């Protein structure tokens, strides 16, 4: 069941239809039409790009982070960069609430996706998706953490205090919003049945909203957003997880090798702090603030072992424990 959404900022309460129209307009330039935001399943299941006229269009998906409006604002200019760098056309695809970007990628609804490590591990085992490059954060590291946060006035001071309390997580396949916070709990001898209540939400923003609304006593959240909220005095961090390789861009196995190679080269050449900065929107708040580095599947072996400890079997893509 999804947590009820209580906006953290009034400015986030933008009707989605109006927000999509606004963001599409912002993303366009004088020479080209806006990148369409697609909510339908329009990709050939073999991984072949659909065509509009004589031009192939590749679908790009992503894990929901801050909400549709903010995520679209960040990704649309980035897709413009990929178009310039590769010569291909891209369309932004939203995974429906309750869906899995790993399933969308593996089942052919998108060709490429920015995906969290846990979602990647699950989809790699089930569908054979291909890793291209992983993000470099604002500290210059290609790794990240999950946080456990509480409200500033909460009596919860340490992880042990969460026993018998209510905790919200992000999506069930989220690395920072679920897997890493669960590992923190396990390290302190706390299992899900030791909590009075636990619930999975659709995104990190939804998890924070569920906490701030008072419905939950703690939230598992990504480090970038959690620290930003803490700096604003909205939450207090009580625990940090171990570090794991960061989110990555992966491709469906059916995408031609030449296309994957060109997209990978564009990712590695991306300079969001320099040449490619103009037009980007809040890219410094993403997990790829400084661009991308090469990655390999075995970089995620440690995470695979940790997920096994939690009962998340690699073949169970999209399944909550």
> pLDDT tens for residues 268-303?
999 999 999 999 999 998 889 999 999 999 999 999
Domain co-membership, 157 together with 99: no
Q: Is residue 63 domain-shared with residue 126, that is, in the same domain?
A: yes
pLDDT (0 to 100) of residue 7: 32
120 plus 193 within the same structural domain: no
Residue 31 has pLDDT above 50, yes or no: no
Give yes or no: residues 258 and 193 share one domain. no
Q: How far apart are CA 216 and CA 43, in angstroms?
A: 39
147 forms bridges with which residues in the sheet? Answer: 221, 240
Q: Which domain holds residue 268?
A: 10-141+247-300
Say yes or no to pLDDT of 227 above 80: yes
Residue 120 pLDDT? 95
Does residue 313 surpass a pLDDT of 70?
no
Question: Would you state the pLDDT for residue 40?
Answer: 45
- Give per-residue pLDDT as tens, 81-134: 999 999 999 999 988 877 889 999 999 999 999 999 999 999 999 999 999 999
- Decide if 318 is inside a domain: no
Per-residue confidence (pLDDT) for residue 269, from 0 to 100? 98
Q: What is the CATH number of the domain that holds 278?
A: 3.40.190.10
Q: Are residues 227 and 267 in the same domain?
A: no
DSSP 83: H
296 inside domain: yes
Give the percent of the chain with pLDDT over 90. Answer: 65
**Pairing state of beta strands 112-115 and 55-62?**
parallel
**What is the distance between the alpha carbons of residues 146 and 155, in angstroms, rounded to a whole number?**
21
Q: What is the pTM of this model?
A: 0.76
DSSP calls for 14-35:
--HHHHHHHHHHHH--SSSPPP
Taking CA atoms, 227 is separated from 168, 233, 242, 284, in Å, by 17, 10, 16, 13
- Using CA atoms, how far residue 307 sits from 71, 92, 131, 193, 318, in Å, is 27, 29, 19, 18, 13
Task: Answer yes or no: is 320 within a domain.
Answer: no
Residue 77 CA, distance from chain mean position: 17
The pLDDT of residue 314 is above 80: no
> Do residues 129 and 256 share a domain?
yes
Domain count, the chain: 2
* pLDDT, position 174: 85
Same domain? For 93 and 59 the reply is yes
């Amino acid at each position: 069941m999804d947590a009820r959404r209580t906006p953290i900022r009034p400015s986030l309460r933008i009707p989605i239809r109006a927000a999509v129209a606004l963001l599409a307009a912002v993303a366009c330039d004088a020479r080209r039409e806006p990148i369409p935001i697609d909510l339908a399943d329009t990709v050939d299941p073999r991984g072949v790009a659909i065509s509009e006229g004589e031009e192939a269009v590749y679908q790009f998906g992503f894990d929901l982070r801050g909400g549709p409006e903010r995520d679209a604002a960040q990704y649309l200019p980035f897709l413009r960069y990929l178009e310039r760098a590769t010569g291909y056309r891209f369309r932004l695809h939203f995974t429906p609430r309750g869906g899995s970007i790993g399933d969308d990628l593996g089942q052919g609804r998108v060709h490429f996706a920015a995906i969290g490590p846990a979602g990647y591990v699950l989809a790699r085992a089930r569908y054979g998706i291909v890793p291209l490059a992983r993000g470099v954060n604002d500290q210059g590291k290609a790794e990240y953490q999950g946080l456990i946060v509480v409200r500033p006035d909460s009596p919860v001071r340490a992880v042990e205090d969460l026993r018998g309390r209510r905790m919200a997580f992000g999506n069930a396949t989220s690395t920072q919003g679920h897997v890493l916070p669960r590992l923190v709990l396990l390290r302190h001898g706390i299992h899900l049945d030791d909590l009075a209540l636990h619930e999975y939400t659709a995104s990190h923003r939804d998890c924070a909203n569920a906490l701030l609304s008072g419905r939950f006593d703690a939230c598992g959240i990504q480090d970038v957003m959690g620290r930003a909220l803490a700096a604003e005095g909205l939450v207090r961090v009580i625990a940090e997880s171990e570090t794991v390789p960061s989110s990555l861009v992966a491709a469906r196995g059916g995408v031609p090798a030449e296309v994957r190679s060109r997209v990978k080269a564009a990712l590695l050449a991306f300079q969001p702090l320099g040449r490619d900065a103009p037009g980007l929107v809040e890219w410094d708040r993403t997990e790829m603030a400084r661009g991308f580095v090469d990655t390999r599947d075995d970089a995620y072996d440690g995470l695979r072992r940790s997920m096994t400890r939690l009962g998340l079997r690699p073949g169970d893509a999209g399944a909550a424990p």
